A and B are shown apart, each in its own frame.
Chain A
């Protein structure tokens, strides 16, 4: 089922492969009831990322954030930490923003506008503006274009994406049991992540027997809502060599790549295909690798299905075989290519994608923050024993892919490598 293709080639010989790096990551931890403002949360996360990198406030001069009218703006966070900015921008958006903003950070540094950029996302996604859409957003008037969606009780992410999920089951015979393995795998990963909100290991039966939210989604096919802030620092690899952490280079990025008619993407099919179908043709050529080169993935898990759909459309398996790919052990710790080793949005906490990038940065440093003992050099001595409560470091992790999701019609992606 070919999609209509435009003759637009977003790949470029000037892709800046390996020239930029992620040098610092930090977070607040995940809660349901932070009892803090998004300003306070963001300030703590950015500070932790600076400490992680070994950077002083005077060494940060760029700031980017994303939000949906639910968070603090950059100037307040910068001011609180004594950071004087040469560049900042606060962008509207949720999932898929992280990788896109990393690309923008590379662009503004390359343009000489600033030297080092911190990116944050701060949200009280449980205690203030609920990401599932209950509360204030559900009660807002149905106005203008929303008459074509919210007037029909078609509002939340799950409700909006479900026609894609359902059609994939119809087109390819994908089963609820197959995609439930995404939750199972991520729950096992979360059980080895001390900061995960849900650490309990689940079974396929737990998922498919949980109550129906909107078909084909059960409660446990859906991610958790949490309060948290997370931050990432981007600068040149040249500069990164003098900093505290081992080098994690950015190979290539794709930002908010979209299907045709992105306003109403269901008008152009196949609707069981998602934006990754287009994004892969930028990601793989620009990063100079292919799916076979990837050691671990961070495929966005707003729902079990979103992880599966993206892995399929980015080419980790053949079209239509995503259900098999996510249920054959590949995506589990100890499998060929683990996905979301933190537990992801389904178990660790909901961050609109940024924590999935942070997890892969730590994996590529070979420093996943699990419960393994810390050696005399101050680093964890990984056991690679993935039983409950144990290790979650992927052995010999060299190259990762993050696949960010906004909706079926829009996605972002990034390849990173160690060293």
Chain B
């Protein structure tokens, strides 16, 4: 049982929840891993007991490069959870990994949720929030919570070339 606090929120993973325990333990080692199906070889996100593409139960954890492009997002100005009220505006990013993009169908991808964070894993300030939109290149970073649990997050990949991202201007 992992039991901790993050931004003042109680967070926990039950001992029975092997998939999430493994996933977040790799994140705590700063080594992003996903399950790869032993039958069809496809990666999947989020962690699960069976393969969503072929229902195979056997999978192995493999290291995956944490780079991708913002596929969509929301910028939260009115937080619902008390923990986030002092962090507005914050971004929730849906990031499509370069790995396995467009596989097994053209419109499928590994789309991993995270906040926009600074490279040290702390939630990004407003000045950075306002730079990011659909198309922004990002790389994975981690926010340590407790031994065995770190949250994967996204930070702007300052080394990436690319055009201006699309942002909702409302």
- Assess the B80–A170 pair: CB atoms within 8 A: no
Chain A residues whose C-beta falls within 8 Å of the C-beta of B72 in the assembled complex: 163-164, 166-167, 170, 266, 271
Chain B residues whose C-beta falls within 8 Å of the C-beta of A215 in the assembled complex: 74-77, 168, 170
B45 within 8 A of A: yes
- Residue-wise, chain A 264-300 has the 8 Å CB interface mask toward B (1 for contact) of 1011111100000000000000000000000000000
Additional 18 contacts, C-beta under 8 A, given A141-B11, A144-B12, A153-B81: A2-B107, A3-B107, A4-B105, A134-B80, A142-B9, A143-B14, A153-B76, A153-B84, A154-B113, A214-B74, A214-B76, A215-B76, A215-B170, A218-B170, A266-B72, A267-B52, A268-B107, A269-B109
A381 within 8 A of B: no
Chain A residues whose C-beta falls within 8 Å of the C-beta of B84 in the assembled complex: 153
Among A154, A162, A211, A264, which residue has its beta carbon within 8 angstroms of that of B45? A264
- Assess the B134–A167 pair: CB atoms within 8 A: yes
Q: Whole-angstrom distance between the alpha carbons of A264 and B109 in the complex?
A: 12
Q: Whole-angstrom distance between the alpha carbons of A149 and B74 in the complex?
A: 13
- Assess the A153–B83 pair: CB atoms within 8 A: yes
Chain B residue nearest to A213 in the complex (CB): B78
B118 within 8 A of A: no
B162 within 8 A of A: no
- Assess the A267–B110 pair: CB atoms within 8 A: yes
Q: Whole-angstrom distance between the alpha carbons of A4 and B46 in the complex?
A: 20
Q: Whole-angstrom distance between the alpha carbons of A4 and B94 in the complex?
A: 21
15 A/B residue pairs, CB under 8 Å, sorted by A = A1-B107, A138-B81, A147-B11, A148-B46, A151-B11, A152-B115, A153-B87, A154-B113, A159-B76, A163-B74, A163-B94, A176-B170, A215-B168, A216-B74, A216-B168
Given contacts A142-B10, A147-B24, A176-B170, contact A153 B115 (CB under 8 A): yes
The B-contacting residues of A in range 108-163, CB under 8 angstroms, are 132-134, 138-139, 141-145, 147-156, 159, 162-163
- Assess the B13–A147 pair: CB atoms within 8 A: yes
Q: Whole-angstrom distance between the alpha carbons of A167 and B168 in the complex?
A: 10
Chain A residue nearest to B21 in the complex (CB): A144
Chain B residues whose C-beta falls within 8 Å of the C-beta of A144 in the assembled complex: 12-14, 17, 20
- Residue-wise, chain B 55-96 has the 8 Å CB interface mask toward A (1 for contact) of 000000000000000011111111111111001001010100
Query: How big is the B interface, by class?
Result: 35 or more
A270 to chain B, nearest CB (A): 5
A208 within 8 A of B: yes
- Residue-wise, chain A 245-277 has the 8 Å CB interface mask toward B (1 for contact) of 000000000000000010110111111000000
Q: Whole-angstrom distance between the alpha carbons of A162 and B73 in the complex?
A: 7
Q: Whole-angstrom distance between the alpha carbons of A194 and B20 in the complex?
A: 51
A212 within 8 A of B: yes
B121 within 8 A of A: no
- Assess the B52–A208 pair: CB atoms within 8 A: no
A169 within 8 A of B: yes
- Assess the A170–B166 pair: CB atoms within 8 A: yes
A124 to chain B, nearest CB (A): 18
Q: Whole-angstrom distance between the alpha carbons of A266 and B71 in the complex?
A: 10
Residue among A134, A159, A261 with max Cβ neighbours from chain B (10 Å): A159
Chain B residues whose C-beta falls within 8 Å of the C-beta of A167 in the assembled complex: 71-72, 134
- Assess the A154–B46 pair: CB atoms within 8 A: no
- Assess the B74–A166 pair: CB atoms within 8 A: yes
Chain A residues whose C-beta falls within 8 Å of the C-beta of B106 in the assembled complex: 1-2
Chain B residues whose C-beta falls within 8 Å of the C-beta of A153 in the assembled complex: 76, 79-81, 83-84, 87, 90, 92, 115
Q: Whole-angstrom distance between the alpha carbons of A138 and B52 in the complex?
A: 30
- Residue-wise, chain A 3-45 has the 8 Å CB interface mask toward B (1 for contact) of 1100000000000000000000000000000000000000000
B151 within 8 A of A: yes
Chain B residue nearest to A139 in the complex (CB): B82
Chain A residues whose C-beta falls within 8 Å of the C-beta of B11 in the assembled complex: 141-143, 147, 151
Chain B residue nearest to A134 in the complex (CB): B80
- Assess the A162–B170 pair: CB atoms within 8 A: no
- Assess the A141–B17 pair: CB atoms within 8 A: no
Chain B residues whose C-beta falls within 8 Å of the C-beta of A133 in the assembled complex: 80
Given contacts A141-B12, A166-B73, A170-B134, contact A159 B20 (CB under 8 A): no
Q: Whole-angstrom distance between the alpha carbons of A58 and B69 in the complex?
A: 61
Among B71, B78, B114, which residue has its beta carbon within 8 angstroms of that of A271? B71
